Every structure is written in structure tokens, then in C-alpha cells.
Amino acid sequence: MDLIRKMVVCMICLVVMATVICLRVSAYGAENIVTNAKASVLIDADSGRVLYSKNPERRLPMASTTKIMSVILTLESGDLDCEFTVDPDAIKVEGSSMGLLEGDTVTKRKLCFGMLLPSGNDSANAAAVAVAGSSERFVGMMNKKAVELGLGNTHFVTPSGLDDFTEDHYSTAEDMAKLTAYAVKNRDFREICSTASTSIDLGGRSVWLNNTNKLLSSCDGVFGVKTGFTDKAGRCLITACEREGITLICVTLGDSTDWIDHEKLLDYGFSRLEKVTLGGEKYEIPVSGGSKKCAEITCPEFTLSLEKGDSERVEKRVILPQFIYEGESGAVGKIIYYLDGGVLKVCDLIIN
């Protein structure tokens, strides 16, 4: 009898524990989330939908999260695996380092590992010279790219994020989230920022690089992106996390408890979203100028991350010509999907 009683108690405990685990996330509401960040934002990477924000447009120093822009410009410059000798003056810089020495042989790709893993200021300066000829010209490229990406509250002064000598190096949580959403679409960037550690050959010697982002190993689904710290900026952290096909980006600036806050915000964001499949519709359209009377057209299936329950309110508008001519191919119409009056997705209708 005692054995049965113990088994029942154990089963009840397991059920209670499972319930607590399931409710831990759903118990968070945006109004109940408290962070120590001066500014923060949580977005759905695919749609840009803001799930949580605190002072998202406040201009603040962002320390080494700056290197996200430096890396993406370096990757987009091409010739990633051509070897060259580092500029001896560029690597003479204070702060975090990948350990470059005068005479070392590198590639742009290796410098990107140096920027994203140990947050090397030496690798950021070396990459700037390799890409643009000088740090000054590279910073000009950084600010031009910021304009192209619509980062209206961002201005760069250094490739590395060192900012003690200037008040003009700043961004916002909102802008850094937009920049990161762009960056993680780059396959090379995603591969590098998700690397926990690696050995880099520098032409006759090698260095071991460790990623400063401990959430890579401690938080389910995190695959990047960048830590940062200066006395002025405080602790800065940007994470990207994917679970069940949904990718979230979390940014905190000036946050003394950033590791804890990111896990909390990510759990909250994933509790709100679900992956929804849309498309797959088939229609017939009259054909003119041939023996075939009708042609079948299809909207390919696609997936979107929506807040739970939103899929019931999705509406669509089909735009088609009155007919097509025989022999036409490709897209001949569109379907526009709406949620509460806003455009979710525009998809082509394709002739089968």
C-alpha cells in the first residue's frame, strides 16, 4: 500500500512539474516582463513584427555589436578566401583581440571569425583596411549601408565599436534588430556567428578562438549573434534564436543582466507565435488563341509566423486578368494576404 501511495505521489509531482514548465512561458505577459536594459527590443526576424520593446528608439552606444555591420560589409565585399598580410598599423588597438601579430597571413573570412567570436578589435581594423583601404573609408561604407537598410538612428565612427573618445557612435535597439535580421540572412554570417570555437591558421602559427556568447550552449535554439561591452555602453547583447521554424531577434543595450533577460524575452516571444502554412490555392483561367479553353494556376504554399489565433483573421484578395493567351507561362496574377487590414504577403499565381 505504501509503495502504491509513493508511486501516486511521484506521478502527481511529475504532472505538476510538467505543468509548471509549460506555464512558465505563457505566464509572461509583456506587461510583466522586467529587464535591466536601458533599451531593448524583441522582433520576429521574418516579418519584423515587434513583440516587445523598451525605449526602442533611444540612441545609445552599442559597443562591439557594431561588428555585425563590419562583418556583413566584409562578407559582401567578396574574395573571402584570398590570403593577404595584415596591415601592421591596423592591428595596434586596445581591448579584445583575436591575437593578430605583424606579418600574420589571413583571409577576410578568418577576420570575420575574429570579429564575431572573440570580438577582436584588431580583426575589425584589419578587415576595414582590407576592404576599403582605410578605417575612415570603411566607416563611410558602414554609414552608407545603414542608410540603405533604413537605420535612421544609427551612426558609426569606428569599425570595432570602441567609443570612449566620441559621442557620435550610436544606434538604437530597434535599428540593431533590423541590422541583425538582415545579417542572419547571409549564410556565411550565420555559420560564423553560430560557431562556438575554432582554430585559425595565421600562416605559420595558429590561434584558438572562443565565442563570447554563452547562450549558444545554454539557451535552446540560439545561433548567434554578438556580445559587446565598453565602460560607456555597458553590457550589450544581440541574440538570434530559432525554434520550430520561427526566428526571433533580441537586442538589449546597457543591460547588467542580459543573459537572463534574453532567455526570458525569447521564451515569451516563442510563447506568442506559431508557424502557419498558407497558399496552395488553385484556380482556372480562360485561355484565348488556342484549342485549350482553360489553364490551371496555383499559388505555391509558404509559411509565416503569426501570433496564435491570428490565422483565423487572415483574408486574401485574388488579382487575375480576364484571360491569358495560349503559350503564356510564369506568373499571371497575384494573391494578397491581409491581417487586420495590413499586408502579410504578396504571392504570384503561376501557370501550371
160 part of the active site: no
Percentages (nearest 5) of helix, strand, coil residues in the chain: 35, 30, 35
The total of other beta-carbon atoms located within 10 Å of residue 24's CB is 12
* Alpha-carbon distances, residue 249 vs 226, 263, 344 (angstroms): 11, 11, 19
67 part of the active site: yes
Q: Which of 40, 70, 119, 271 is catalytic?
A: 119
Q: Which of 38, 67, 226, 264 is catalytic?
A: 67
* Euclidean distance between CA atoms 63 and 231, whole angstroms: 9
Angle at CA 207, nearest 5°, toward 202 and 208?
Answer: 140
53 part of the active site: no
Q: If you search the block for the grid coordinates 576599403, which residue do you land on? A: 132
Cβ neighbors of 177 (< 8 A, separation 6 or more) are 41, 42, 43, 238, 249, 250, 251
Nearest CA among 104, 108, 81 for reference residue 92: 104
Would you mind telling me the total number of residues written for the chain in this entry? 352
Nearest CA among 268, 251, 345, 347 for reference residue 307: 268
- Do 49 and 164 meet the contact criterion of CB atoms below 8 Å apart? no
Cβ neighbors of 254 (< 8 A, separation 6 or more) are 37, 38, 39, 60, 233, 234, 235, 236
Q: Which of 38, 40, 54, 64 is catalytic?
A: 64
Residues designated catalytic = 64, 67, 119
